[in-house]
Amino acid sequence: MPRWMSARIATSTFLIVGDVASYFAAYSFLRPLLPGSTGDTLVERTFALAALATIILYASASLYPGYRLHGHEHLRRRIMASIKIAALTAIGAVVLPGESQLLLAIFGFLCVALIVQPAMHWTVRGMCRRLGIWGDRAAIIAGGNHTQALIAHFADNWQYGIRAEAFSSDMAEISPDRRPSIALITGDADSPVAELATMRRTFAEVILLSDTPRLKVTGVRPADIGGEIGVRLAAGERLANFSLLRRAVDLAIAVPAILMVTPFMLVAAAAIYAIDPGPIFFRQAREGLSGKTLYVLKLRTMYTDAEQRLEALFRDNPAMQAEWATHFKLKRDPRILPVIGNALRSTSFDELPQLINIIMGEMAIVGPRPFPEYHLRAMDSEFRDKRCSVTPGLTGLWQISGRSNTDLELQQQLDEFYIDNKSLWFDWHILLSTIPAVLKRSGAC
Strands (E), 111-267: 136-141, 162-166, 182-186, 205-209, 220-225, 228-233
Mean pLDDT of 237-251: 75
Structural contact between residues 102 and 93, judged by C-beta atoms closer than 8 angstroms: yes
Give the 3-state secondary structure of residue 326. Answer: helix
**Confidence check: pLDDT of 56 > 70:** yes
What does pLDDT average to over the chain?
81
Residue 355: per-residue pLDDT:
94
The burial class, CB within 10 Å (0-12 / 13-18 / 19+), for 271 is: middle
Q: What is the mean pLDDT of residues 163-192?
A: 75
162-166 and 136-141 as β-strands: parallel, antiparallel, unpaired?
Answer: parallel
In sequence order, the 6+-apart residues with CB closer than 8 A to the CB of 50 are 85, 89, 106, 109, 110
Q: What is the pLDDT of residue 216?
A: 53
Peptide bond into 392 cis (omega under 30): no
**pLDDT per residue as tens digits for the range 209-230:** 766 655 554 555 555 555 555 6
Contact residues for 111 (Cβ-Cβ < 8 A; gap 6+):
82
Among 166-175, 253-262, 402-411, the range with the most confident prediction by mean pLDDT is: 253-262
Percent of the chain with pLDDT over 70: 82
Residue 143 φ/ψ, nearest 5 degrees: -90, 170
Confidence of residue 291 (pLDDT cuts 50, 70, 90): confident
CA atoms within 13 A on the CB side of 148: 2
More confident residue, 54 or 152: 54
Count Cβ atoms below 10 Å from residue 227 Cβ, excluding itself.
5
Tell me: the pLDDT tens digits for 121-136? 999 999 999 999 999 8
441 pLDDT above the threshold of 80: no
* Residue 300 CB coordination number (10 Å): 23
pTM of the prediction?
Answer: 0.70
- Helix (H/G/I), strand (E/B), else coil: 144: coil
pLDDT given at position 127: 95
* 340-375 pLDDT tens trace: 988 888 888 899 999 999 999 999 999 998 888 877
Tens of pLDDT, residues 227-241: 555 655 555 555 555
In 3D space, the residue among 370, 360, 337, 365 whose CA is nearest the CA of residue 268 turns out to be 337
Angle made by CA atoms 430, 30, 117, in degrees to the nearest 5? 30
- Assess whether pLDDT exceeds 90 at residue 6: no
Judged on CB neighbours under 10 Å (0-12, 13-18, 19+), 330 is middle
Q: Would the pLDDT of 154 be above 90?
A: no
